[in-house]
Every structure is written in C-alpha cells, then in structure tokens.
C-alpha cells in the first residue's frame, strides 16, 4: 500500500524543465509519475493515502556536500556570535552561559562587525577565571584569554608549523591563534561518543528542517578519538534516516585504517583523505600568489611545507585513497593541482578540490584535464563579497568563485555550506550561485559565472550522489528512485533575486515519510 501525491509541480531534475503533476510512492520508492487520473486508475487498489500538494513545488531532497556535522551540532548548543557588534556585550553573554564544556565558547564572531579584533586582554577584563575561546566566522582564526593560553601550554617562544600565534606591539602573545595553532584547541574541546552523538542528533534535526537529508562531512579529527566518533555515527544513523559520507582527516587516517574502521555502513560510508593547504580570506591566511590588497606584507599561510604536502598525497595513494584538499588562495590551488598532475587519481575515481575560491584562467585550464570534483560553497560569495573587495582589490576579486567556468571544465560541481562556518540554508547557496550578489545588496559580481537555477539545484541534489556513487537511486525524482524530496510554497524556477531567500519549506520527506513539516499538508 502506498501514497499518491497529487496537484504538485514535481521537478525531476533529470533534465531541464521536466515536471510532473503526480507520483505514486510505495515502500519508500517512486513507482510511477504522471497525471493524477492515470495513477489513480493504475494503482486504485494500492492507494492508502492521497496527499494534495496544493500547487506547491517539489524537488529532490538536498545533500550538503561540505559540512562538519558534529561541529554544527555543537555550535547549535553554544553562544552564537555571528551577529555580535559589541565585544563586551558578547563576553557578558558568554559569562552567563551555562555549558557542559569546561571552556566558555562562542561561535562565529566577525571582527569587521565588532570593529576590532579581540585579544586576550579584552577577554580577561570580563572573564578571567575560566578558559575562553572566541571562534572567528571562518574557523581558521580563534582568540583565547590568558587562562586559555595557559591551558593550551602556549608561551612566548612557541612556534606552530602551519599556523601562527598573534602578538602585540611588544611581541607578547595576544591570544589570537591562526590555522594549525587551532589543532591544540581541538584536543582541549574534544568530545566523546555520547556527546558527539547528541551533537549529531541536534544537527540532523536542524538539517531536516532545511530540506537536507544527507551530507558529506569531515569530523574525525576534531572531536576526540576518531573511532568513538564513528561509533557515534553508528548510534545516531541507526535510528535517523540520514545519509552521511565521511572524509578522513590526514592526522587520523592511519588510526582509522589500522583499525579497519572504514567499512561501509547502511547509512554512511567513507571517502577521500582530507588535508589543508591554506587558510581563509577573512583571516588573511589563504595562500595567494600576490600580496593581500589590504595588507601588502601578507600572502597567507602554507599549512604544510611543500615536501610534507607531497608526502601526504603519496600516502593517500599508498592507501588507495583519493585526496580532498582545502584550497582557497590561487597559490594553494596551484600547489594542489601540481600534485594531482604528478600523482594521478586511480582510473574511474575523482579527487576533491575544496573551495577553489580564487582561480585564474590557467588554473581553470589545468583543472579541466583532471578527474576532480569541485566542493563549492556559493553562500560564501554572498556572505563575504564586501570583504573580498577589501582583501583582493577590484581587479582580482573577479576571479573568485568561478562556478560556471568550473562547471564547464567537466568537473563535478557540488554545493555545500561548510556549516558551522556558514548557514546551512540552501536558499542562500542557491542565491549565491544564481545571483552572485551580497545578502546586503550589491551589483552582480562577474555575471558570466552565474549558474542557472537548474545547475544550482543539481549541485545540491543529484551531483552529490554522483560523487559518492549513490546516484542509481538518489538525487532525482524518477521512477524506481528513493522518494526523498522537499516541498516548497513557491517555485524556485520562477523566483528572482532576494525572493529566492523567502521561499518557504513546507515538508521534507525521506523514503516516502515526512521527517519535517512546517504545517500539515491536507489530504
């Protein structure tokens, strides 16, 4: 017995413009699509329920192709500093916040909104008896107080390879940590099986409410023993209908492989070895071929020495793994592309270029010859447009987030959010991809790099499943595919500009069963 869904604009995303009015779902799969009358007659004796979609629009359910699931769940339970404009008020809020953590943590501050970069002295003035950390929105920079420096064992002469410690005018540590220096924080704030499971449940509930039923995620380094984190995934995905694809951080890959922990499970599997080549634009640690426009003395940070980076790629190949690299600046992309050219991926597989934020024509051409997927975050463009002009200048900024050029290379383009760094709201990702404007209002940046709405939607629906080899039953709404879909009040294909951001999600459905409802759809 099954459910007949009728009176909808059901987009298959199998090809542009293909739309059906009704579909019959049984045992979690789409048996047939077409006109309501024909389906009523064909399945007359098997229709248990009829759902009237009331003219709403239906799309395949979304997959976030770049997220930190456990970290996102943690952030939902911590102080949100993303809109803070007054540092002292933020710190007073933190002081009152109860937490299971020994540390007092705030997620996602923006020094541009605060008007200054916090320092340990500023934090000490309000909270001096407990270790405190403020994580910058990019999560490549954080600030700790004096108690935090003490807990991390950081002293004046400490040197961090692949990272940096901020200093004041007298050369003393000012509490600001950059890139690899944050690894010390991850060890301090690491979770356990129970805590990570709670964070996963919190994250997945939130994702369902955004139409997201799957994710490509990277969690196995930041939250304690990676084997316990895998156990947390087993606990949660044994009871929640969510699909996950886990990248494996280079610092834990040996342990995970030695314990034969990468066996595919029912609702999650494992992917490429993840590594970092550089940092972020916001922290001026993305590795550029020319200096930052607003700090001519900076070109960014190399997280690894070139010989070490090469050794990591060789290690992945020894393990028979693909490589996924965080590369934002053009110099970082060039380093990684050169290594992929030198150590090609196994035939029939793809390496993952994460972010690929700043690309000249030469790099685009080289990417075209590689078997890669591009792990892109269109929301970043809209989040950071004003800042990008400051960091890169008016000319170079036109080479950022070249979505259309990357798609035209033949590379597989995936849409993601990098949450908790940015919002999981897919509407924001679609807006960034098709409008290429700031959320605050702006002209269109490099209009030739805009995606069509069809291309943008596919990057969040079908392409993520192609990347993981799960596209035989997922990512489209066609006969025999899993009935995983979202129902929206308005049609994304008819919406322009900011109207995209206001479309309301009515329902998220997994295998024919609602996992989120904004309101009851009458039958």
Which helix or strand (DSSP H or E) is residue 307 part of? helix 306-318
Neighbours of 92 (CB within 10 A): 13
- Cα(200)–Cα(204) distance, rounded to whole angstroms? 6
- Tens of pLDDT, residue by residue over 247-301, are 999 999 999 999 999 999 999 999 999 999 999 999 999 999 999 999 999 999 9
DSSP readout, 392-445? HHHHHGGGB--HHHHHHTTPEEEE---BTSS---HHHHHHHHHH---TT--PPS
Which three-class secondary structure state does DSSP give residue 365? helix
Task: For residue 447, count CB atoms less than 10 angstroms from its CB and return exposed for 0-12, middle for 13-18, buried for 19 or more.
Answer: exposed
Rounded Cα distance, 129 and 480, in Å? 60
Measured CA distances, 419 to 50, 298, 299, 425, 472 (Å): 36, 27, 26, 10, 27
What CA–CA distances, in Å, run from 413 to 61, 371, 378, 409?
A: 17, 12, 11, 10
User: Which residues share a beta bridge with 243?
Assistant: 214
Residue keyed to tokens 């447009």: 385
Cα angle 464, 468, 474 (rounded to 5 degrees) comes to 60
- For the chain, what is the mean pLDDT? 95
Per-residue pLDDT, 523: 47
Nearest to 189 by CA among 326, 74, 72, 73: 74
Rounded CA-CA distance 133/175 in Å is 9
Question: What pLDDT was estimated at residue 100?
Answer: 57
Q: Which two tokens stand for residue 118?
A: 């916090």
CB 353 within 8 A of CB 341: no
- Report how far Cα 478 is from the mean position of its chain's Cα atoms: 27
Encoding tokens for residue 331?
């110099």
CA distances from 479 to 53, 217, 373, 507 (A): 19, 29, 27, 21
Q: What are phi and psi of 208, to 5 degrees?
A: -55, -40
Q: What is the pLDDT along the chain (523 residues), one digit of tens a residue?
A: 999 999 999 999 999 999 999 999 999 999 999 999 999 999 998 999 999 999 999 999 999 999 999 999 999 999 999 999 999 999 999 988 765 568 999 999 999 899 999 999 999 999 999 999 999 988 889 999 999 999 999 887 787 888 889 999 888 999 999 988 888 888 888 889 999 999 999 999 999 999 999 999 999 999 999 999 999 999 999 999 999 999 999 999 999 999 999 999 999 999 999 999 999 999 999 999 999 999 999 999 999 999 999 999 999 999 999 999 999 999 999 999 999 999 999 999 999 999 999 999 999 999 999 999 999 999 999 999 999 999 999 999 999 999 999 999 999 999 999 999 999 999 999 999 999 999 998 899 999 999 999 999 999 999 999 999 999 999 999 999 999 999 999 999 999 999 999 999 999 999 999 999 997 545 4
- pTM of the predicted structure, to 2 decimals: 0.93
Reduce the DSSP state of residue 332 to 3 states and report it: helix
Q: What is the CA radius of gyration of the chain?
A: 23
Q: Which residues contact 156 (CB under 8 A, 6 or more apart)?
A: 171, 172, 173
Q: What share of the chain in percent tops pLDDT 70?
A: 98
DSSP one-letter string for 184-216: HHHHHT---HHHHHHHHHHHHHHHHTTTEEEEE
What are the two backbone dihedrals, phi and then psi, of residue 88, each rounded to the nearest 5 degrees?
-65, -40
Q: Left if phi > 0, otherwise alpha if psi is -120 to 50, otherwise beta: which for 401? A: left
């Amino acid at each position: 017995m099954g459910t007949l869904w009728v009176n909808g604009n059901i987009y298959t995303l199998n090809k542009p413009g293909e739309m059906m009015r009704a579909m019959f779902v049984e045992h979690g799969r789409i048996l047939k699509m077409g006109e309501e009358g024909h389906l009523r007659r064909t399945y007359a004796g098997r229709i248990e329920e009829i759902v009237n979609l009331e003219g709403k629009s239906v799309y395949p359910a979304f997959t976030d192709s770049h997220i930190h699931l456990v970290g996102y769940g943690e952030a939902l339970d911590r102080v949100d500093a993303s809109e803070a404009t007054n540092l002292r008020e933020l710190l007073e809020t933190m002081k009152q916040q109860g937490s299971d953590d020994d540390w007092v943590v705030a997620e996602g501050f923006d020094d541009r909104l605060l008007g200054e970069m916090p320092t340990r002295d500023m934090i000490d003035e309000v909270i001096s008896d407990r270790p405190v950390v403020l994580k910058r929105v990019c999560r490549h920079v954080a600030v700790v107080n004096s108690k935090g420096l003490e807990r991390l064992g950081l002293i004046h002469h400490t040197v961090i390879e692949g990272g940096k410690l901020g200093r004041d005018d007298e050369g003393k540590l000012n509490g600001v940590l950059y890139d690899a220096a944050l690894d010390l924080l991850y060890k301090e704030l690491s979770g356990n099986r129970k805590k990570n499971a709670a964070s996963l449940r919190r994250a997945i509930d939130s994702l369902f409410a955004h139409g997201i039923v799957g994710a490509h995620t990277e969690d196995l380094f930041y939250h304690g023993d990676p084997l316990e984190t895998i156990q947390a995934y087993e606990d949660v995905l044994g009871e929640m209908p969510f699909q996950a694809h886990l990248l494996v951080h280079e610092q834990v890959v040996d342990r995970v492989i030695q314990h034969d922990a990468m066996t595919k499970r029912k609702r999650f599997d494992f992917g490429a070895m993840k590594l970092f080549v550089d940092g972020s634009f916001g922290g001026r640690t993305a590795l550029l071929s020319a200096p930052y426009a607003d700090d001519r003395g900076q070109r960014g940070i190399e997280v690894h020495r070139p010989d070490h980076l090469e050794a990591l790629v060789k290690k992945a190949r020894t393990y028979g793994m693909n490589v996924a690299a965080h590369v934002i600046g053009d110099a970082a992309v060039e380093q990684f592309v050169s290594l992929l050219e030198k150590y090609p991926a196994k035939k029939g597989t793809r390496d993952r270029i994460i972010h690929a934020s700043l690309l000249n024509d030469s790099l685009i051409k080289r990417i075209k010859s590689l078997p890669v997927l591009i792990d892109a975050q269109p929301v970043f463009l809209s989040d950071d447009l004003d800042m990008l002009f400051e960091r890169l200048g008016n000319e170079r900024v036109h080479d950022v987030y070249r979505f259309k050029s990357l798609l035209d290379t033949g590379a597989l383009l995936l849409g993601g959010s990098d949450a908790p760094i940015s919002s999981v709201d897919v509407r924001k990702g679609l807006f960034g991809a098709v409008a290429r404007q700031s959320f605050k209002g702006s002209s269109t940046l490099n209009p030739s790099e805009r995606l069509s709405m069809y291309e943008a939607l596919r990057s969040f629906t079908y392409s993520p499943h192609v990347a993981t080899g799960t596209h035989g039953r997922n990512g489209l709404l066609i006969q025999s595919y899993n009935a995983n879909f979202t129902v929206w009040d308005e049609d994304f294909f008819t919406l322009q500009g900011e109207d995209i951001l206001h479309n309301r999600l009515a329902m998220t459905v997994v295998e024919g069963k609602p996992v989120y409802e904004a309101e009851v759809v009458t039958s």
